[in-house]
Structure 1
Amino acid sequence: MKIRLTHFVRSHYPLIISFFLPIFLMGGYFISQEMFPFGKSSLLTVDLGQQYIDFFAYFRRTLLSNPSGFFYSFSKEVGGNMIGEWAYYLMSPFNLFLLLFPEKYLAAGVMLITLLKYGCAGLSFGYFLKKMRTQAGLSIVAFSTSYSMMGWFVANQLNLLWLDATIFLPLIVLALHRLLSGKKSWPYIVLLAIMLIDNYYMGYMICLFLILYFIWFLFSKARDLKQIFSLSIRFIISSLVALAISMIILLPTIASLLSSKGQYTQSSVSLKFEYNAFKMLSKFIVGSFNFQQMPSGYPNLFIGSIFLIGFILYFVDSKISMRERILSFLISIFLVLSLCFEPLDLLWHGWQFPVWYPYRFSYVVSFWMLLLASRTLKNFITVRPWKIWLSFILYAGIIAYSFINEKKFSYVTNETLIFTAIFATLSLAVLAFAVNSKYNRVKIFLLCLISVVEISMNAYISLGNLSYLTQKDYATPTKALIKDSNYLNSLKDSAYRTGQTYSRTKNDGLANNLNTGSYFSSALEKSIPDFYGMLGNPDGDNYVTYSNGTIISDALLNMKYFITPIDSSLLKNGQPLSSLTEKPDLSRYKEIKQNKLTRIYKNNNALGYAYLANNQLKNLSVFYDNPIEYQTEWLNDISGKQNNKYFEAQNFNEVVFQNIEQSTKLTNSVFKKKNLAKSAQIVFKFTPKTNDSYYLTLGSALDSDNATLYLNNQPLKQYSTFRHTVIVNVANHSKGQEIVLTARLKKSSLWLNNFVLYKMNNRLVQNKITQIKKHSVNLKQISSRKLSGTYNASTNHLLATTIPYSSGWTVRVDGKKVSTFKIQNTFLAANVAKGKHSITLTFTPPLFVTGTIITLIGLALLLFIIIFESKKRRKV
C-alpha cells in the first residue's frame, strides 16, 4: 500500500501540487486577514454578502426540508418560478458542502467552497496541460497556479457561481480536442452538459469559445473537405446531444428568462469601441483591481509576466507552423476586439450589457493566452536573445504606458509598477539563461517560484483593495430572523406574507423562510418591478423592496405579520439591527410576540393570497408615479364602480427655507441654493388633526443622491434609491403632535417632484377591507407549489390573486381545470361560478415537462453513442 501511494505521488505530484498550492496560498491570505472561521471578518462582500449568501441559505433549506422550493417560492418577492434562479445561482455541485454548515455559519461554508474552487481550477488546468503534453513536472504547477489565481478569478472570487466555469473549461476543451482527434466523444458530451446545467450563463460563453477552438483545431493544419465535413458533423452532433441532455434545466430557464432578463435584451447595437483598447494593457500590472473596477472597469486579464511573455513569444516561434500562428493571431484579435468593441461584447453577454462586473467572459481570453504560452514555453526551454529583447521591448511598453497614464487608473501605483518591472525582468533573465540539462530543473524551479510569488502578490494586493462584512454583521440579524421565522412558522397559520421594517438584505425572506415581498436577483421578472413602481415601493431592474406599504397595500398583498426592531433605548447594548423604513402604522396592528431584538405584529386586515372581486378589476389602469391613485383605484375596483377617496392632500402648517429662495409652490418646483458654499435645507412642519395615517410621496429626485431627509430631526428611515415615486408613512395616532420634515440639499439645487403630504381616511379604508373580507377565499399552503381551499360566491365572480401570473399555474375548481389570465399586468386570475366550491392551485414550471422529455431523448442518444463507439473500437 505504501509503495503504491509513493508511486502515485511521484507520478502525479504536479497535479497534487496544482490542487493544494492555490488552496495553501489563498487559505494563508484568508487566515492572515482573520476571515471567518479564523477571525471576526468574512469573505462576504458586495453581491456575495448581499445576495448569494441568502441563496445559499435557501439552497440548504430546500434540500433539507422543502424540496418543492426547487420549483416555486413565495419568498421570491410576491412569489415566483425558481428554476431560473437555481440554473443561475445554485446548481454548482460544490454547493452540497453547504449542507455541512448551520445557517449562521454559512460564511465558513463559503470559505471552504472558495478554496476548493481555487484548488480545482488549478488541478483542472494542470490535468489539461499534462494530457495535451505541452508541459510536464513543475512547469505544470507554474501554469496551473497562474490559471487558478489569474486576475479574472481573483476579481470574481465573490461571484462564486461563475467560478465553476474555470474548472470545467480546460476539461471540456481537452475532451473536445480528443473528440476531434478521433477518440471518445461521450466525455465531451457529458462535461458540456454538466457545465450548461451548472451555470447556463457561463456555459454559453464556453460554447462560444468552443466554436473558436473548433475553428482553430480544424484549420491550423491542412485538411481535405472530407475531413472538415466529418469533424464538423461530429462536433455539431456531440454539442447538440449535450444541449439536449441539459434541457431539463435549460428549457424552463429559457421560459423564465423570457419574462425577466430576456425583456432587457438590446434591440439596437452601436458599432463603436467602448474605450481605448490600449487601456486594457494596464490590467497586466500587478494588483490591477479594486472596488471601482466592479461597476465599470476594464477586462481582468492578469496572468503573470512569464506567461504574458510566453503568449508574445508564441507568435514568433518558428517551431510552430505559420498556418497555426496566423490563425491563432486572427482569433486573438477577435478576442481583443470582443473586450472593447460593443457588438462583440454584447455577443459574449447574451446581447445584454452586464450590470456591474463588465467583460465577464475574459477568463476564456486568459485561458487562450495560457494555452498558446504553454505551446511555446515547453518546460521553459532557453529562449533566443532576440526574442527576449522583443519581449522586453513590448513589456517595457506596457509598463511605460501604464506609468504615463497612471492617474487614469485608480489601481495603478508606483509600487505596483515597480513590482511588475521586477517580476518581468526576473522572468526574462531566467528564461534567457542557457543551462545544460543538469541544471534545467533549477531553472524551472526558479521560474515556477517567480510566477507563484507574482500571482500571489497580485491576488493579495487586489483583494486588499476591497472591504468585507464582519461575521457579526451577518450572524446577528440572521439569528434574529431565524428566531422570528421559527415562531411564525410554528403558528401553522393560513398562507400569508410577512413584512419587515428592518432588513439585512433584500433576500432576507428567501434566506429565512419568510415571504417578505422583497427580492434581489438577476432573473427578476420585469412585471414585478413595474408593479412595485406603481404601488409606491422602491424597484429596479433586478430588485424590489416592500418597504413603503400603506394600510391598503398591506391588506391587499396579504402582509399578515410585520417584524420590527425593538427601540434601541430599551436595549442594554444598543440595537444591532438597522431599520429599513418608517412604519407608524404598526400602532394599528396587534403586537403578538417580543424577542430579544424584535417585535412581531399581526395585521388582521390581510386578505389572503386570493379574494373575490368585480370584473372591473380587469381594467385597472396604469398609474406610474401616482401610487396614491393606483392604490385608490385598486381598492375601489375590487367592488366595482365606486369613487371613494381614501387619501386627501394636506397643506403644511409652515415651510422654512434656509439659504434657498422662498416659494409658495412646493410640489414639482426646483429650489436652488443662494450661496453655493453654504449648506441649504427646507423645513416642513405640520400638526395632524386626527389619529389617521399620514403619508408623504417622494419623487425619484428625492433619493439619497440628491437630498438627505430627516423626520423630527432624525434621519428618515427610507430605502436610499428609487426610480419611481414612493410613499412614506410619517405619522399615525399623532393627533396634536407637531411633525417636522427636513430636506437637506446635497447639490446646488433640488427638484421636489411629487412631494405631497396625504391623510388617509382610516375608517373608510377599514370598512372597505371588512367588506372585501366577507368574500375572501380561504387558502392553505400545502407546499411551495400548491395551494388549496374553498370560496363561497353569491354571484359569478373574478377570482383575483396576488400571485404573479405564469402559464405554469393550474387552477381547478371542484377538480375541474379553469382558464387563467393576467390582471393588473401582474397577477393570476380566473373567472369562477357562484356558490360554495373547493379550489386548488398547482404550479409546474413552464416547459419543464417538455425539457424533461428532451433530456431523456438526449440521454438515450448518449447511451447509443457510447455503445456505437465501443463496438467500433472493438472492431479496430
Structure 2
Amino acid sequence: MKNRIVLYINKHYPLLLSFWLPVGLMLSYFIYRKMFPFGSNTLLTVDLGQQYVDFFAYFRKTILSDPSSFFFTFNKAIGGEMLGEFAYYLMSPFNLLLLPFAGKSITAGVMLVTLAKYGCAGYTMGRLLTKQRLQHGLMVPVFALAYSMMGWAIANQLNLLWMDVLVFLPLIINGLFELLKNRHGLAYSFWLAVMLLTNYYMGYMVVIFLVLFFIWLATDSFVSFKKLAKDCGLFIGRSILGGGLAAILLLPTLFSLQSSKGQYTANVIHAKFEYQPLKMLSKLLLGAFNFKQMPSGLPNLFVGSLVLISFVLFFFNSKFKWTSRLVAFLVSAFFVTSLCFEPLDLFWHGLQFPVWYPYRFSFVVSFWMVYLGALNLRESVRVSALKILFAAILYAGIIGYVAVNIKQFTFATKTTLLASTLFAATTLLILLFPQKQTQRVLLVCLAAAEMLTNAAFSLNNISYVSQKEFAEPNSALKNDSQALAKLDPGLYRTGQTYSRTKNDGMAHSLNTGSYFSSALEKSIPDFYGQIGDPDGDNYVAYSNGTLISDALLGMKYFLRPKDASEISIPAKQKKALSPLTLRPDLQDYRLVKDGDLTQIYQNPLATTMGYSANIALQQVKLPFNEPINYQTKWLNAATGTWPTTRYFTAKNFNEVVFQNADKTVNLTGSLLKKKNKKAPAQVVFKFTPQTNDPYYLTFGPGLEETNVETYTGSRPLYHYGTFRHNVILNVADHSKGNEVTITARFKKNSLFLDNFVLYQLDRQSVTEKLRQLKRHSWHVKKVNNRHLTGKISIKDNQQIFATTIPYSQGWQVKIDGNRVPTFKLQNTFIGAKISKGTHTVTMTYTPPYLYLGAALSAICLILVLSWEFIPAKVKKYRKTKN
C-alpha cells in the first residue's frame, strides 16, 4: 500500500502540487488573518457579506428541504422567479460543500469553497499544461500557481460565484485541443455547457475568448485550407451543441433577463478611452488592489514576474512561426484595447456598464499570458543573457513608470515597488541558472513566495465582517423565523425594523419584502419607488411602510429590535440589535412574541396575497413619485370608494429653528445654505400632534444619508439612507400633546428640502377600508412556492381577483378548475376576472421556456453522444467485417 502511494505521488506530484500549493498558501493567509473558524474574522466583505452569503443559505434550504424554491420564492422582495437567480448566483457545483454548514457556521463553509476553487483552478491548469505537453515536472505547478492565484482571483475572491470560471476554462481549452487533434468533441461541448450552466455571465466572456483563441490556434497549426475548413466546422458545430446542452437553463434565464438586467442595456456608447492606457502597467506589479479599485478601478492583470517575462519573450522567440506570433500579438492588442476602450469594454460585459468590479473579463487576459508564457518555456527554462537584459529593461520601465506616477495609484507604495523589483530581479537571475533541477525548485519557491506576497499586500487593504457581527443578527433572525413558523405556518409577509442585510428573507425563510440582486426584475423597484420605499436598479427595501401599504401587501407580522433599556440580560452578554427604521405605528399592532432581543407584532388589518377588489383597480391611473397619492388611490380603487376619500392631511410644523442656515418660510423645495461654511449647521423642525393618529414625513433624494444626518429628539432618526424617489417615514404615533422634534444636520454646505412634507393619517377611516378588504381576502393555502390554492368570496360582479404577486407569464390561474386569462395590475401585479360567489382559486408557476429548453438540451445531448460514439462503432464494424 505504501509503495502504491509513493508511486502515485512520484507520477502525479506536478498535479498534486498544482492543487495543494494554492490551497496551502491561501489557508496560511486566512489563518494569519484569523478568519473563522481560525479566529474572530470572516471572509465576508462587500457583496459576499451583504448578498452572496444569504444566497448560500437559501441554496442549502432549497436543496435540503424545499426544491420548489428553485423556481419561485416569496422570500425575494414581494415574490419572484428564481431560475434566473440560480443561473447567475447559485449553480456552482462547489456550493454542495456548503450543505454541512448551517446558520452562523456557514462562514466556515465559505472559506472551504474558496479554498476548493483556488485548488481546483490550479489543478485544471496543471492538467492542461500536462495534457498538451506545455510543461512538465516542477514547472507545471509554477504556472498553475500563477494562474490560480492571479491578481484577478485575489481581487474577486469576494465574488465567489465568478471564480468557477478559473476552474472550467482550462478544461474547455483542453477539450478544444482534443476536438481539433482527435476529432473527439464530447469533453469540449460538455465543459462548455458546464461553464454556461454554472455562470452564464462568465460563460459569455469565455465564449468570446474561445473565438479569439481558436483564431490563434488555427493560425499556429495551419496545414491547409481544407483542414482549416474542417476545424472551423468542428469548432462552430460543437460550440453550438455545448450551448444547446445548457438550453434547459439558458432559455428560461434569457426570458427572465428581459425583465431584469436586460432592461438596463446601454443605449449610448461613446468611442473613447476610459483612462490613459499606460496606467494598466501598474496592475502588473505586486499588491495592485485595494477597496478603491472595487467601484471604479483598473483591470486586474497580475500574474507574477516569471509569467510576465516569458509572455513578452514569446513574441521574440524565433522557434515559433512568425504568423503565430503575429496573430498572438494582434489578439493581445485586442485585449489591451478592450481593457480601456469603452465600446469593447461594454461588448465584453454584454453591453452593460458593470456596477462596481470593472473589467471583469480580465481573467481571460491573464489566462492568455500564462498560456503563452508556459508555451514559450516549453523546451527550456533557461533564457539567453540578451533576452534577460531586454526583460530587465522592460521591467525597470514598468516599475519606473509607476514610481514616477505613484500618487496616481492609491494601491502603490514604496514597499510594493521594492518587493516587485526584488522578485523580478530574482526571477531573471534564476532564468540564467545552469542547473535545471535546482533552477526549477527555486522557481517553485519563488512563485509561491511572490503569489502569497501579492495576496497579502492586496487583501490586507480590505476590511472584513467579524464573526460576531455576522452571528448575532443572524441568530436573532433565526430565532424570530422559527418562532413565526410555530406561531403561524401560513403564507404571509413579514416586515422588519432591524436587519442584517436586504437578503435576510432569503437566508431565514422570511418574506420580508426586501431584496438585493443584480437580476432583480425592473418592475419591482419601480413599484417600491411609487409607494415610498427605498429602491435602486438592483435592490428594494421595505423599510418605510405605512398602515395602508402594510395591509395591502399582506405584511402580517413585524420584527422589532428591543432598545438596550428593554433588554433584561446584562449588556456584557447581549447587545441591542441595530434598528433599520423607526415605526412608531407598530403600536397599532398586537404584540404576539416578546423575546430576549426582539419582539414580534401582528398586523390585524393585513390582507392575504390575494383579495377581492373593485374593478376600478384595473382602470385607475396611479401617480408617479407621489407615494401619498399612490397609496390613497390604491386603497380607494380597491374598495371602490367614490368620490375619493382623503386619508392623509398635510400639517404645518409648529416651529422651525435655523442654526447657521438661511431661513425660509416655504420648506418644501427650498435649498438651504450654510451662513458660515466652516461651522456646523442644522435645522430643527418641531410639531405637537393634536391626535393619536400616525404622522408621516415625506422627503426626496436630497435628504439621503450622504447629505444629512437626521435625529428625532436626541436619537438617530433611523431609516434606509439611500433612495432615488420620494420616501415616507413614520415619525410619530400615539403622541398626542407631546412635542416631536426632527433635526437635520448638514453634511455639506447646502441642504435641499426635497418634497419635505408632514402628514397626519386618519387611522379610523383607513381601518374601516382595510377591514373591508380583509373580509374578502383569498384564504390561500401554500402547497409550495410554485403552487397556491384557496377560497375567496366575491360580493358582486363589479369585483376582480387582485393579488400582490408580481406579474409573470409563468403564472397560471385557475378558478374552480378552469384556466382564466390574467392581466397586469398597477403595472406590477397579477389580476384576473372573477364572478360573484365563493370560488376556489389555484395559481401555479412554471418558468417560461423551461420545457422548450429541456427539449433542446435533450436533442443536443443525443447529437453529441451520436457523433462521438457512432463513428467509432462504424469503424469497428467495418474492421470486423473485413
TM tier relative to shorter chain? over 0.9
Q: CA deviation at 1:870?
A: 2.6
User: What residue is the counterpart of 1:665 in the other structure?
Assistant: 666
User: What residue is the counterpart of 1:131 in the other structure?
Assistant: 131
> SS of 1:370's equivalent?
helix
With 555-564 and 421-430 compared, the bigger mean Cα shift is at: 421-430
Match of 2:541 among 537, 540, 545: 545
Q: CA deviation at 1:379?
A: 6.2
User: What residue is the counterpart of 1:841 in the other structure?
Assistant: 843
With 582-591 and 843-852 compared, the bigger mean Cα shift is at: 843-852
Q: Work out the CA distance in 2 between the residues paired with 1:267 and 1:847.
A: 27
Contact 1:690–1:734 under 8 Å retained in 2: yes
> SS of 1:665's equivalent?
coil
Alignment of 1:845-856 (within 5 A): 845-856=847-858
User: What residue is the counterpart of 2:243 in the other structure?
Assistant: 243
User: What residue is the counterpart of 1:604 in the other structure?
Assistant: 604
Q: Work out the CA distance in 2 between the residues paired with 1:275 and 1:870.
A: 54
Q: Work out the CA distance in 1 between the residues paired with 2:513 and 2:467.
A: 26
Alignment of 1:33-52 (within 5 A): 33-52=33-52
**% identical aligned pairs:** 53
Contact 1:139–1:380 under 8 Å retained in 2: no
Match of 1:529 among 525, 528, 534: 525
Look up the equivalent residue of 1:399 and give its one-letter code.
I
Q: Work out the CA distance in 2 between the residues paired with 1:353 and 1:28.
A: 36
User: What residue is the counterpart of 1:753 in the other structure?
Assistant: 754
Q: CA deviation at 1:872?
A: 5.5
Q: Work out the CA distance in 2 between the residues paired with 1:493 and 1:148.
A: 47
Q: Work out the CA distance in 1 between the residues paired with 2:273 and 2:719.
A: 39
Contact 2:498–2:577 under 8 Å retained in 1: yes
Q: CA deviation at 1:619?
A: 2.7
Match of 1:452 among 448, 454, 477: 448
Alignment of 1:193-208 (within 5 A): 193-208=193-208
Contact 1:380–1:431 under 8 Å retained in 2: no
User: What residue is the counterpart of 2:231 in the other structure?
Assistant: 231
User: What residue is the counterpart of 2:463 in the other structure?
Assistant: 467
With 196-205 and 214-223 compared, the bigger mean Cα shift is at: 214-223
Q: Work out the CA distance in 2 between the residues paired with 1:281 and 1:36.
A: 35
Look up the equivalent residue of 2:695 and give its one-letter code.
Y
Q: CA deviation at 1:798?
A: 1.2
Q: CA deviation at 1:119?
A: 0.6
Q: Work out the CA distance in 2 between the residues paired with 1:642 and 1:732.
A: 28
Structure 1 runs (4+) deviating above 6 angstroms are none
User: What residue is the counterpart of 2:84 in the other structure?
Assistant: 84
With 724-733 and 217-226 compared, the bigger mean Cα shift is at: 217-226
Q: Work out the CA distance in 2 between the residues paired with 1:382 and 1:622.
A: 74
Q: CA deviation at 1:121?
A: 0.6
User: What residue is the counterpart of 1:339 in the other structure?
Assistant: 339
Q: CA deviation at 1:621?
A: 2.7
RMSD: 1.2
Q: Work out the CA distance in 2 between the residues paired with 1:494 and 1:8.
A: 57
With 860-869 and 654-663 compared, the bigger mean Cα shift is at: 860-869
With 196-205 and 610-619 compared, the bigger mean Cα shift is at: 610-619
Q: Deviations over 1:5-46 (max 9, x none)?
A: 222111110100110111111101111111000111111111
Alignment of 1:299-310 (within 5 A): 299-310=299-310
Q: Work out the CA distance in 2 between the residues paired with 1:663 and 1:482.
A: 48
Look up the equivalent residue of 2:680 and give its one-letter code.
S
Provide the aligned length of Structure 1 versus Structure 2: 872
Q: Work out the CA distance in 2 between the residues paired with 1:380 and 1:429.
A: 15
Q: CA deviation at 1:698?
A: 1.4
User: What residue is the counterpart of 1:519 in the other structure?
Assistant: 515
1:219 aligns with 2:215: no
Contact 2:563–2:576 under 8 Å retained in 1: no
Look up the equivalent residue of 2:504 and give its one-letter code.
D
Q: CA deviation at 1:622?
A: 4.0
1:170 aligns with 2:170: yes
Look up the equivalent residue of 2:407 and give its one-letter code.
K
> SS of 2:295's equivalent?
coil
Q: CA deviation at 1:623?
A: 2.6
Contact 1:379–1:444 under 8 Å retained in 2: no
Q: Work out the CA distance in 1 between the residues paired with 2:620 and 2:276.
A: 50
Match of 2:865 among 853, 863, 866: 863
Look up the equivalent residue of 2:851 and give its one-letter code.
V
Q: CA deviation at 1:268?
A: 2.2
User: What residue is the counterpart of 1:725 in the other structure?
Assistant: 726
Q: Work out the CA distance in 2 between the residues paired with 1:699 and 1:381.
A: 64
1:503 aligns with 2:503: no
Look up the equivalent residue of 1:70 and give its one-letter code.
F
> SS of 2:211's equivalent?
helix
Alignment of 1:683-702 (within 5 A): 683-702=684-703
Q: Work out the CA distance in 2 between the residues paired with 1:492 and 1:850.
A: 39
Q: Work out the CA distance in 1 between the residues paired with 2:322 and 2:855.
A: 48
Alignment of 1:85-124 (within 5 A): 85-124=85-124
Q: Work out the CA distance in 1 between the residues paired with 2:168 and 2:839.
A: 53
Q: Work out the CA distance in 2 between the residues paired with 1:195 and 1:650.
A: 59
Q: Work out the CA distance in 1 between the residues paired with 2:436 and 2:130.
A: 19
Q: CA deviation at 1:762?
A: 0.4
Look up the equivalent residue of 2:650 and give its one-letter code.
A
Q: Work out the CA distance in 1 between the residues paired with 2:37 and 2:764.
A: 54
Q: Work out the CA distance in 2 between the residues paired with 1:310 and 1:219.
A: 21
1:418 aligns with 2:430: no
Look up the equivalent residue of 1:711 and give its one-letter code.
T
> SS of 1:717's equivalent?
coil
Q: Work out the CA distance in 2 between the residues paired with 1:699 and 1:486.
A: 37
Look up the equivalent residue of 1:718 and give its one-letter code.
H
Q: CA deviation at 1:102?
A: 1.7
Q: CA deviation at 1:866?
A: 2.4
With 754-763 and 791-800 compared, the bigger mean Cα shift is at: 791-800
With 833-842 and 501-510 compared, the bigger mean Cα shift is at: 833-842
Segments of 5+ residues of structure 2 without an aligned counterpart are none
Change (3 A) 1:222 1:189: closer
Look up the equivalent residue of 2:873 and give its one-letter code.
K
Look up the equivalent residue of 1:519 and give its one-letter code.
Y
Q: CA deviation at 1:795?
A: 2.0
Look up the equivalent residue of 2:722 and give its one-letter code.
T
Q: Work out the CA distance in 1 between the residues paired with 2:468 and 2:317.
A: 55
Q: Work out the CA distance in 1 between the residues paired with 2:544 and 2:135.
A: 60
Q: Work out the CA distance in 1 between the residues paired with 2:752 and 2:684.
A: 15
Contact 1:566–1:575 under 8 Å retained in 2: no
Q: CA deviation at 1:242?
A: 1.1
Q: CA deviation at 1:567?
A: 1.6
> SS of 1:100's equivalent?
coil
User: What residue is the counterpart of 1:560 in the other structure?
Assistant: 556
Q: Work out the CA distance in 2 between the residues paired with 1:420 and 1:869.
A: 54
Look up the equivalent residue of 2:779 and give its one-letter code.
N
User: What residue is the counterpart of 1:64 in the other structure?
Assistant: 64
> SS of 1:607's equivalent?
coil
Contact 2:251–2:853 under 8 Å retained in 1: yes
Q: CA deviation at 1:447?
A: 1.9
Contact 2:21–2:448 under 8 Å retained in 1: no
Q: State TM-score, norm by structure 2.
A: 0.98
> SS of 2:657's equivalent?
strand
Q: CA deviation at 1:860?
A: 1.3
Contact 2:345–2:359 under 8 Å retained in 1: yes
> SS of 1:718's equivalent?
coil
Contact 1:128–1:170 under 8 Å retained in 2: yes
Contact 2:54–2:503 under 8 Å retained in 1: yes
Q: State TM-score, norm by structure 1.
A: 0.98
Alignment of 1:218-367 (within 5 A): 218-367=218-367
Change (3 A) 1:5 1:379: farther
Q: Work out the CA distance in 2 between the residues paired with 1:635 and 1:222.
A: 72
